[in-house]
Amino acid sequence: MPLYLVTTPIGNLEDITLRAIRTLKEVDLIACEDTRHTRRLLDHFNIIKPMISYHEHNEQSRAAELVARMQAGESVAIVTDAGSPGISDPAYRVVCAAIEAGIRVIPIPGVAALIAGLTASGLPTDSFLFAGFLPNKRGARRSRLEDLESIQSTLVFYETPHRIREALKDILEILGDRRASLARELTKLHEQFIRGTVSEVIDQMEKHEPRGEMTLVIAGNRDDNSSFEVDGSISEQVESLMSDNGLSRTEAIKAAARSRGMTRREAYQIMLGEKEEDEIDID
């Protein structure tokens, strides 16, 4: 019997598809991240089916069990707490095990936070890279961002409220003050988009306590970023980055340089020239 990958709503229950509801009613077993969370969804649509937990801590052993049950004739649907199974959520191992066992895998598509956040961001959608969650530790996070620096496609990340400020500061320093869009509580009552440059998004985050899961969209390393560069001198931009975003002088120079498509050394030399001009004006 087949394995169904059933996409569930990311917030608004009306976003579930008719096919998803029918599939959940017809399968023999539903594997889910959190049985309590999925039970609320099933109760809402009057679906009565046995459930089994399947999450990142037991997926390896559970994958073998699910494959065995499908080989014995049971049909299985995998759901996560929100969105598509396998997208920053468990499912990969059981999908691989099912394919290896010759079991048919059937995707039941639906809403995805990365697509909703991207299409409403106002940033290019012709080519994008979904990078999932950035690493928790600062060193690993910065290393990952350095790997993504030259990517021309729009970048899409998932982020949590307690990490978003530090992630944005690292993005500002390493990727530069690019265009950005931060979406929170997508499809829910308090859905919000914060758009602007990375530094402008940081400013907004300082004014409000971040809540809810977030989808962060950052412009790629493209020529059209140049039309959104910060006005004014590099010296003024550096001072602003230091005072408003808490960057060190070295970090601020690097961020300003990247936003203007130049090296840190070039930016520093221009700053020295600006300082000399100011001294001449004073004299």
Q: Do domains 3-111 and 114-227 have the same CATH topology?
A: no
Query: What is the number of alpha carbons within 13 Å of residue 188 lying toward its C-beta?
Result: 16
What is the rounded average pLDDT for all residues in the chain? 90
Q: Is the confidence at residue 273, as pLDDT, over 60?
A: yes
Q: What is the pLDDT of residue 161?
A: 93
> 43 is written with which tokens?
């109760």
DSSP label of 82: S
Q: What is the pLDDT of residue 26?
A: 98
What residues pair up with 107 in beta bridges, in sequence order? 5
Specify whether the CB–CB gap between 193 and 120 falls below 8 A. yes
Produce one character per residue of 64-82: b if its CB has 16 or more CB atoms within 10 Å, e if not.
Answer: eebbebbeeeebbbbbbeb
Q: What is the pLDDT of residue 245?
A: 73
Report CA dihedral (56, 60, 62, 68) to the nearest 10 degrees.
150
> pLDDT class for 107, splitting at 50, 70, 90?
very high
Q: Is the confidence at residue 142, as pLDDT, over 80?
A: yes
Q: What does CATH list as the number for 114-227?
A: 3.30.950.10
Mean pLDDT of all residues in 105-117:
97
Domain coordinates in residue numbering, the chain: 3-111, 114-227, 231-242+249-282
> 50 is written with which tokens?
């046995």
Contacts of 74 (CB under 8 A, 6+ apart): 1, 28, 29
| Degrees to nearest 5, angle at CA 123 with 121 and 265 | 125
Q: Is the pTM of this model over 0.85?
A: no
Chain mean position to CA 23? 28
Mean pLDDT of all residues in 166-174:
95
The values of phi and psi at residue 2, to 5°, are: -80, 165
Q: Is the confidence at residue 52, as pLDDT, over 70?
A: yes
Indicate the residue type of 257. A
Q: Which CATH superfamily is domain 3-111 in?
A: Tetrapyrrole methylase, N-terminal domain (3.40.1010.10)
> 135 is written with which tokens?
């690493």
> pLDDT class for 200, splitting at 50, 70, 90?
very high
> pLDDT class for 165, splitting at 50, 70, 90?
very high
Q: What is the pLDDT of residue 282?
A: 42
- End-to-end Cα distance, the chain: 85
3-state secondary structure (DSSP) of residue 129: strand
